[in-house]
Structure formats: structure tokens, C-alpha cells
Amino acid sequence: MQPKQRILEAPVYQPGKPIEDVKRELGLTEVIKLASNENPFGCSPKAVEAIQKQLGSLAIYPDGGTLELRWELAKFLNVEPDQLIFGNGSDEIILMIARAYLEKGTNTVMATPTFSQYRSNAIVEGAELREIPLKDGVHDLEAMAAAIDANTRVVWICNPNNPSGTIVSEADFLAFLAKVPGHVLVVLDEAYYEYVVAPEYPQTIPLLDKYPNLIILRTFSKIYGLAALRIGYGIASKEIVGHLNHVREPFNTSTLAQAAARAALADQAFVEKCRDLNRAGYQQLTAQFEAWGLDFYPSQTNFILVNINRDSDDVFRQLLQQGIIVRSGKALGFPGYQRITIGSAEQNERLLKALGSVLSGVLK
């Protein structure tokens, strides 16, 4: 049996290599993973405690309306509860948006390179792709606005952008919104929102009242450290949330994920600690990159895209032999680069030592 042709045209997502697989393949006893932008400091102890309290209830379906988390998150964000939609990671909300708004005869605008799931889901729905190259690693919002026409249904903006780590400023984003017609949904993916420290970064929730065609995506997978539980959310008008609920799967977030997210949300001290440690790690890595003469994009995330002036896949393999998993830029649209997750101080030091040995022939 053959599936629909457009399904085969959508690329299969390639995750970072699992730690245990690398250990088995290479006979290593210690491996660090700096490939998937996970939080090296784990999650709040309060989240672990909340999960443990739910282990006796695994035979019961989760709350399909995510009511307790919905009320607590709405209060935290200062929005109405029915302005929120939850997904099995924000990835699922991206899928919901594509399913609800895109079809053959419509088009969708996005940057390139950016997060791959916008493109994949648009292909599955049969929409035309209008991909606008990044400008110095940043979304070219002027060119993206110019690509919009009467058949455009969705524009995707990843801010900060994955894989470059760069941000669109508040001034540029507001200028862009003013140009977007009301029939176009603007998806603002803020998966790395909690890591950002730049003052020019837009605070977007207050914009929802003025721009009813805006939806903001965030996640508990990154700074909150709940990636294994897969829970993310969207913030939008009640109308948009209503549209997406028509394509949302029942019971799409688990009891464990909901309980952990509630506890993680309540522990903002943990979030602040992780943000501070992440910026210290950023300084640790970039100071050495600068000393080596390596170019990198200024990142407001927990990863850095660095130009290592060598074949990306070859450097990836050599680091893997030393028990360090990073992400080759070739697969991300940046040949010659590596995307490196910022780890703990010890992990960063080990990465720098290994990378220095791999690049010893080309460094300053």
C-alpha cells in the first residue's frame, strides 16, 4: 500500500543521537549530549515530586481539558483560561495549526533555515511553501511581509530562531505585524522565551488584544526541563483556540505532564537559576570561540551555532568518538557549522577540550 505522495515529500525528523546508543556503538562509558537543546540542569525537584504523587493514578485518563494547569498558567500569564491550548509539546500545536488552516491552494510563509516542523506540516497539508532566507541569521521580516498574498494563511516566526539562536527585535516585529493582513495567522514560536535576556526582545502577550490573528507558542520542554513529558502551549484569541480545539486529539497531554508542568511553573526560582547558569555557560563557550577566531551567531537561547570552518559531519563524528554529541549544521541548513547546546560548566569545558583537539590544525 502507498501513502499519499505529499506524505513522502515531507522529511522525516532526525533527532539527536541517544546517549545509550552512542555508548553501545562506540564502547564508551561516559557520553554527554549537547545536541538537542535540553536543560543540562534537569527540572525542578518540585516537578519530580509532583510526578511521584501521580504514579498511583496511571489507569485513569488524564484531564482532557487540562483545567488545573489551564487556570494556573492563565493567572501566571495574565490571560483568560480559554485563550490557552495545550499540546503534546508545542510541536503538536504546530501540527494543529497546519491541519486547521492549510490546504492545497493556500500558501504559507516562513524563514529558511528555521525550525523544520513548520515546513514538514505544511507539505503534509499540500500548501505552497514560501521560504525566505535569513538575513545575517535573522528573519528577514520585510521580505516575508512582501511574500504574503491573498492565498497566504499562515506565517511562521521562530523567535529566538532555531537553529541560529538570533532574535527579531520588538521594533521590527511591530512593524511587521502592521503589514500583515487580518486573514493571515501569525505564529510566533517562543520555545526559548525564558532564556532571552536581550532588552529589545518583544513582550508579545500584550499584543494579543490588538492583533487577533496572532498566536504565541511556548513550551515546558526547554528551560523547565520537562522534554520527556512533551507538554507545550499556545496563547491566542478565544476564536483561534476554538478553531484548534476542533483538530486537537482527546487526552493529548498526560496526567504526569500536567502535574509536572504545574509544579515547574510554581518554581520560578529554578527558572531564574537556569537562565543565569545558561548565560554563564554562553560566556564560557563564546570566550573560547573568540580566542580561537571562530565566528558564531549571537544567541539568546541555550545553544550556539558556531562556524568551525570544517566539514560539519566530519567534526560531528570526531566529537562523537570522544563521547560528545553535538548537532551537525549540515542537516540544519548551515554547512560548516555546529549547533552546540550550552551545558554545565564541566560539560562545556569537556566540549572545548575535545573541539580544540579536533580543530587543532585550523585554530589560531
Same domain, 166 and 216: yes
pLDDT at 22: 64
Checking if the pLDDT of 139 tops 70, the result is yes
Q: pLDDT tens digits, residue range 199-221?
A: 999 999 999 999 999 999 999 99
Same domain, 277 and 184: no
Same domain, 160 and 22: no
pTM for the complete prediction? 0.94
Question: What is the average pLDDT value for the chain, to the nearest integer?
Answer: 94
- At 10, the pLDDT band (50, 70, 90 cuts) reads low
Same domain, 20 and 149: no
Checking if the pLDDT of 11 tops 90, the result is no
Last residue of a domain, one of 267, 299, 322: 267
Task: Reply yes or no: is the peptide bond before residue 160 cis, omega within 30 of 0.
Answer: yes
pLDDT at 142: 98
Last residue of a domain, one of 267, 287, 314: 267
Same domain, 107 and 164: yes
CATH code for the domain of 308: 3.90.1150.10
Q: What is the mean pLDDT of residues 145-155?
A: 98
CATH code for the domain of 195: 3.40.640.10
Same domain, 175 and 320: no
Does residue 189 form part of some domain? yes
Last residue of a domain, one of 211, 240, 267: 267
pLDDT at 246: 96
* Pick from 103-107, 138-142, 335-339, 358-362: least confident: 358-362
Same domain, 203 and 282: no
Q: pLDDT tens digits, residue range 160-184?
A: 999 999 999 999 999 999 999 999 9
Q: What is the mean pLDDT of residues 116-128?
A: 96
Q: pLDDT tens digits, residue range 293-319?
A: 999 999 999 999 999 989 999 999 999
Checking if the pLDDT of 2 tops 90, the result is no
Report strand pairing: 107-112 vs 185-189. unpaired
Same domain, 171 and 295: no
Same domain, 257 and 296: no
Does residue 94 form part of some domain? yes
| Full domain range(s) for residue 330 | 12-30+269-358
- How far apart CA 184 and CA 306 sit, in angstroms, is 34
Q: pLDDT tens digits, residue range 53-77?
A: 999 999 999 999 999 999 999 999 9
- How far apart CA 338 and CA 34 sit, in angstroms, is 11
Does residue 38 form part of some domain? no
Q: What is the mean pLDDT of residues 22-50?
A: 87
Same domain, 157 and 283: no
Does residue 216 form part of some domain? yes
Does residue 52 form part of some domain? yes
N- to C-terminal Cα distance for the chain? 56
pLDDT at 267: 98
Same domain, 245 and 226: yes
CB contact set of 271 (below 8 Å; sequence gap of 6+)? 194, 223, 224
Q: Are 207 and 216 in contact (CB under 8 A)?
A: no
Number of domains in the chain: 2
Residue among 194, 208, 134 at smallest CA distance from 166: 134
Same domain, 147 and 198: yes
- At 281, the pLDDT band (50, 70, 90 cuts) reads very high
pLDDT at 18: 72
